[in-house]
Amino acid sequence: MHRFLAVAFLLSLFGACDDRPGAPTAPAATSQPKPSAARAGAPAPSPLVPVALPSQTLQLWPFSGFGFDQPSDPVSLIWIGNADPRALRSALLLLDGDRTAFGFPDAFPFNCAWHDDPEVQPEVAYTSASGWVGSPIELECGMYDQARLHLRFFDVGGATVGGAPFEVYIPGTLEHQTISWELAEQIVVVDFLRSGLLDPTVPLFTTGPINPSPFGTIPAVIYNGIPAGLRQAIGGPLADV
């Protein structure tokens, strides 16, 4: 599984979803992350990677993790502009699962719709400006006991960063195996294009390389249980490995 670049979204000050029926919203909160005792006491992770954006350069730990300096998922998505995580959540919850105009089939899991996913294992992210921050919002697209992608938003002040792994359920366990970050990223990109939130002049762009590659492997016993259509979608071999 490869991960080189992050996709950065530039969001308009006023998105199209402002005129749509309201989706459930999270409790009001300030967008600037506030330091906590735990965050203040935790050392900075390594490495920190400079990510050049139009209005700033983030000094970013290129992962999120279940603990300080314990990488779990690569950061692959960055939102700037009107990038409050509550607005991003609301925009995705308003969408249906029809992505056929962008080449995705009208079949599971490609036609999934977003819903809230209660955060059982909170993750953290880090920039030098924000320190450690948590993700109070996690969304899921798909089914827990089959296949899904899930998306976390980390408000680092002036930008929101996140990652979206595409996972399959490991039967007989409570665990999932990530099989692609690229496929999840493609779906998220399509959905923000559908949302009407993006700035029409420069809706999105890719950053320079920020993550190592490859990051993670898929055990053969799990890969061989993936349907052929999903193997093709993630760019993997169609035959068993």
pLDDT the model gives residue 28: 34
Burial class (CB in 10 A: 0-12, 13-18, 19+), 68: middle
Peptide bond preceding 219: is omega within 30 degrees of 0, i.e. cis? no
Residue 167: inside a domain: yes
Asked whether residue 238 is assigned to any structural domain, the reply reads: no
Task: Give CA–CA dist 10/202, Å, rounded.
Answer: 7
What range does the domain containing 157 cover?
Answer: 7-233
**Token pair of 79 as six digits:** 């939102």
Nearest to 159 by CA among 51, 76, 78, 50: 78
Question: Residue 126: what pLDDT?
Answer: 97
Please give the Cα distance from 41 to 19 (Å, whole number).
43
Provide the token pair at 56.
């700033």
DSSP bridge pairs for 108: none
Please check whether residue 22 lies inside any domain of the structure. yes
Q: Is the pLDDT of residue 114 over 70?
A: yes
Instruction: Count how many domains the chain has.
Output: 1
In a domain, residue 1? The reply is no
Q: What is the mean predicted confidence (pLDDT) over 194-208?
A: 87
Residues 6+ apart with CB under 8 A from 236: 179, 218, 223, 226
Backbone angles phi, psi at 44, to 5 degrees: -65, 145
* pLDDT average, residue stretch 142-160: 95
Residue 21: is its pLDDT beyond 90? no
Q: Which two tokens stand for residue 1?
A: 């599984």
* pLDDT at 29 > cutoff 60: no
In a domain, 2, yes or no: no
Q: What is the rounded distance in angstroms from the CA atom of residue 69 to the CA atom of residue 219? A: 25
Is position 132 within any domain? yes
Ranges 55-59, 124-128, 208-212: which has the least confidence: 208-212
- Does 112 reside within a domain? yes
The whole-angstrom separation of Cα 136 and Cα 131 is: 16
Is the residue at 136 inside a domain?
A: yes
Binned at pLDDT 50, 70 and 90, residue 16 comes out as very low
Q: What is the mean pLDDT of residues 39-59?
A: 86
Which of residues 213 and 123 earns the better pLDDT score?
123
> Which residue type is seen at 76?
S
What percent of the chain is helix, strand and coil (3-state, nearest 5)?
20, 30, 50
